[in-house]
Amino acid sequence: MNFNRSILDWYSENKRNLPWRETADPYKIWVSEIILQQTRVSQGLAYYNRFINAYPNITSLASAKEEAVLKVWQGLGYYSRARNMHTTANVICSKHNGVFPKTYQDVLKLKGIGEYTAAAICSFAFNQKYAVLDGNVFRVLSRFFDVRTPIDTTLGKKEFQKLANKNLSQKNPGTYNQAIMDFGAIQCTPTNPNCGVCPINYLCSAYENDSVKELPIKQKKQTKRTRTFNYLVFLQNENTYIEKRNGNDIWKNLFEFPLIEGTQILSKKSLITLLSQNFNLKETADYKIVSCVKLAHHLTHQKIVSTFWKIAVCNTKVNLNKNQIIQIKSQDINKYPLHRLTEKYLESKCVWNDFSTL
């Protein structure tokens, strides 16, 4: 029995029932694939349903405001995915008359779509012969064929793509691609795969050689950059202040409390000096520091060490609008798209004081 036939047979008995599997609509398949980048299916499913309910087709997504799209995406992370989808929806409407392109080359030209996603869309929606190559597929192929070339090298990617193409089912490429991805997610898992009960372990070189735990091989080790954020949570009557992040940095176009980034967490003395210099606030006369909350937040390549300083502004005449900082009702903060670190702070128990104490 050949490899792809065995994978397809396994899939017929074990496939997951997922909504994007029940459609050939390239738009919905595209949405699912973008959501599932860097996201587990168990988490992505709820976001997929939420996104499709909000934007059931390309036209509705294209006509939406980016801020609204980011709000629907909130909590999923890697927000450039949502921004790219919004841009791409507008391109499809303007250049393709609202019809999702059908050729691999045209799909690949769309912003936010790489070789894997283009192959997935073209094979799932149009049953075209393009082999997908994601983390699950890398793992399955490396183990079954005992490939030791590092998957995060140019040579490795070329070798695995050639192997993936060779094993692609010519009759059912879309179904086969879904099958091998599911096999990697359910059966041939990253850690502790139960190889003894795998129905096709007799085809697996790594199982035969007792080298399953060694594969796949990665060459590069990622190092994390540490950044220090000091947030100023101003409370003034029933208002607070927020600002939108700009520039090509994390959380672009999301909202947060006014931020001071530095090399270290501010001391209370340094904070008092900063409030005087940057906001012309005088301690006691204009404000009091209520509390501070320290939170760490981990991203793929960064670690954020943060402190949220809660500052009660008792002088009602003070206007802290400055640069990108805007005043809003405290109760309205969840109407804005927020990044996860701000959400974590809002979920903590010591965020808002009773306004009568200000």
Residues forming a β-bridge with 241: 327
Domains belonging to the chain, first-starting first, are 3-214 (1.10.340.30), 225-357 (3.90.79.10)
Within the chain, residue ranges assigned H as helices are 3-14, 26-35, 41-54, 58-63, 66-73, 80-95, 104-108, 115-126, 135-144, 154-167, 173-182, 205-208, 268-279, 340-347
- Digit-by-digit pLDDT tens for the chain (358 residues) are 588 899 999 999 999 999 999 999 999 999 999 999 988 898 999 999 999 999 999 999 999 999 999 999 999 989 999 999 999 999 999 999 999 999 999 999 999 999 999 999 999 999 999 999 999 999 999 999 999 999 999 999 999 999 999 999 999 999 999 999 999 999 999 998 989 999 989 989 999 999 999 999 998 777 889 999 999 999 999 999 999 998 889 999 999 999 999 988 899 999 999 999 989 999 889 999 999 999 999 998 899 999 999 999 998 888 887 778 999 999 999 999 999 999 999 998 655 444 333 3
- Cβ(231)–Cβ(348) below 8 Å: no
Q: Which residue has the tokens 């405290």?
A: 330
Of 308, 311, 310, the residue nearest 345 (C-alpha): 308
Q: How far apart are CA 189 and CA 140, in angstroms?
A: 9
Catalytic: 13?
Answer: no
46 SS3 class: helix
Q: How far apart are CA 251 and CA 120, in angstroms?
A: 27
The model's pTM is: 0.85
Residues forming a β-bridge with 256: 243
- Cβ(115)–Cβ(108) below 8 Å: yes
Bond before 216 cis per omega within 30 degrees: yes
Active-site option among 13, 33, 67, 238: 33
Two tokens at 321?
A: 């609008």
- Cβ(212)–Cβ(206) below 8 Å: yes
